[in-house]
């Protein structure tokens, strides 16, 4: 459809379609090298239990792991008759490997198309795929009260984003998302359709950097509730509210070009209520994440970033043992090296 629109515009202006399609394609190849101290999101009590129950570890010997992620991106900008307006295409593919946890190997990717018609004015559509992402081993309660099986899910997310200026150096973004989170057999009772909307207010701080605040509201519908065997009798639907504040300082500190900091807090309220099930009934989560990162541009082609993240998820329940069992903390650190090249043979 977009090609037809471009062709129509080019005919109106007496220009050849190839004039619009010509131009460079920007390619980036990168490597992320990092460390995760709690890959399986174990609470302190689960870590102590793992010494006597090796199956809870899913066949691995450590709670932490070194990880690497390889990624490739491609970008293409197509200017229209009015050079201030253009269509931007973007794609990225990631392959992730965990040295000390083979279960976590996975790939992901996304495609994004953006139409811009002026400063801070855009509309974008994105399609993201996360393939068979491993969480941990869980009990398959359809067949047993103690047999553990690997639990993996796949995300297929689509979203539309609209941005428009509010006043000088300030703009807002509205995003609507639909995510299909479907689990591999035998845990299909967890399948969710997740609808969310977010409002983002952005502010450019002159000679300093930028800051934003994001408010996100989501509803997850457990579409397999009551449709599978024993484990499907528990409704895993939930609602969530999340706020997120990122700040970027762009003037540099020492040899660094940029420094960033962000805070995020997600409140999740589960619908699950079943008499006699203390573990799941009336349970809520408060998920806190703090992140700091720095960036250094070595030259026009080479970019280096490093980041440190702390996550603390507090589980709220009327039963203290449930809160203790499901509360965890996690540290992650990584460094990213990105190499840019431009393909321009037209």
298-325 pLDDT, tens per residue?
999 999 999 999 999 999 888 888 888 8
- Per-residue confidence (pLDDT) for residue 256, from 0 to 100: 94
Measured distance CA(132)–CA(186) in Å, rounded: 13
pLDDT per residue as tens digits for the range 154-172: 999 999 999 999 999 999 9
- Per-residue confidence (pLDDT) for residue 280, from 0 to 100: 63
CA distances to 9, 58, 115, 123, 173 from 118, in Å: 18, 52, 10, 11, 14
- Per-residue confidence (pLDDT) for residue 4, from 0 to 100: 40
Q: Please state the rounded mean pLDDT for residues 235-250.
A: 95
Query: Longest C-alpha distance within the chain, in Å?
Result: 76
- Give me the residues paired with residue 99 across strands: none
Q: What are the tokens at 287? A: 């998920």
Measured distance CA(312)–CA(265) in Å, rounded: 10
Measured distance CA(9)–CA(20) in Å, rounded: 10
- Per-residue confidence (pLDDT) for residue 11, from 0 to 100: 39
Structural domain boundaries in the chain? 2-343
Measured distance CA(128)–CA(135) in Å, rounded: 19
Mean pLDDT of the chain: 89
In a 3-state reduction of DSSP, which class is residue 96?
Answer: strand
For residue 14, pLDDT beyond 50? no
Phi/psi at 271 (nearest 5 deg)? -90, -15
CA distances to 281, 285, 327 from 316, in Å: 11, 6, 9
For residue 331, pLDDT beyond 90? yes
Lookup result for tokens 């129509």:
8
H helix count then E strand count, the chain: 4, 14
Q: Is 2 exposed, middle or buried (0-12, 13-18, 19+ CB in 10 A)?
A: exposed
Q: What is the CATH number of domain 2-343?
A: 2.40.160.40
For residue 262, pLDDT beyond 70? yes
pLDDT per residue as tens digits for the range 96-130: 999 999 999 999 999 999 999 999 999 999 999 99
Q: What are the tokens at 293? A: 């990162």
pLDDT per residue as tens digits for the range 245-258: 999 999 989 999 99
Supply the pTM of this predicted model. 0.89
């Amino acid at each position: 459809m977009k090609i037809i629109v471009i062709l129509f515009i080019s005919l109106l202006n007496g220009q050849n379609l190839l004039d619009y399609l010509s131009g460079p394609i920007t390619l980036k190849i990168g490597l992320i090298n990092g460390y995760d101290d709690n890959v399986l999101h174990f609470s302190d009590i689960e870590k102590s239990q793992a010494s006597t129950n090796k199956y809870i570890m899913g066949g691995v010997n450590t709670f932490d792991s070194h990880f690497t992620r390889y990624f490739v991106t491609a970008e293409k900008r197509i200017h229209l008759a009015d050079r201030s307006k253009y269509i931007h295409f973007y794609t990225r593919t990631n392959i992730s490997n965990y040295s000390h946890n083979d279960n976590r190997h996975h790939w992901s990717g996304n495609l994004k198309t953006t139409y811009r018609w002026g400063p801070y004015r855009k509309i974008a559509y994105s399609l993201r795929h996360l393939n068979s992402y491993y969480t941990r081993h869980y009990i398959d309660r359809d067949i047993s009260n103690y047999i553990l099986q690997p639990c993996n899910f796949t995300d297929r997310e689509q979203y539309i984003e609209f941005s428009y200026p509010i006043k000088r150096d300030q703009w807002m973004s509205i995003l609507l998302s639909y995510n299909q989170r479907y689990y591999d057999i035998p845990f299909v009772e967890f399948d969710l359709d997740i609808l969310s909307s977010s409002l983002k207010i952005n502010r450019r701080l002159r000679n300093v950097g930028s800051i934003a605040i994001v408010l996100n509201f989501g509803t997850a519908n457990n579409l397999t509730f009551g449709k599978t065997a024993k484990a499907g009798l528990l409704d895993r639907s939930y609602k969530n509210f999340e706020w997120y504040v990122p700040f970027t300082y762009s003037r540099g500190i020492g040899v660094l070009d940029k420094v960033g900091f962000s805070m995020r807090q997600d409140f999740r309220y589960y619908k699950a209520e079943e008499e006699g099930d203390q573990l799941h009934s009336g349970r809520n989560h408060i998920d806190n994440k703090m992140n700091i990162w720095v960036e250094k541009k070595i030259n026009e082609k080479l970019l280096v970033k490093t980041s440190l993240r702390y996550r603390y998820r507090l589980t709220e329940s009327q039963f203290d043992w449930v809160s203790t069992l499901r509360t965890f903390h996690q540290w992650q650190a990584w460094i990213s090296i990105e190499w840019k090249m431009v393909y321009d043979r037209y």
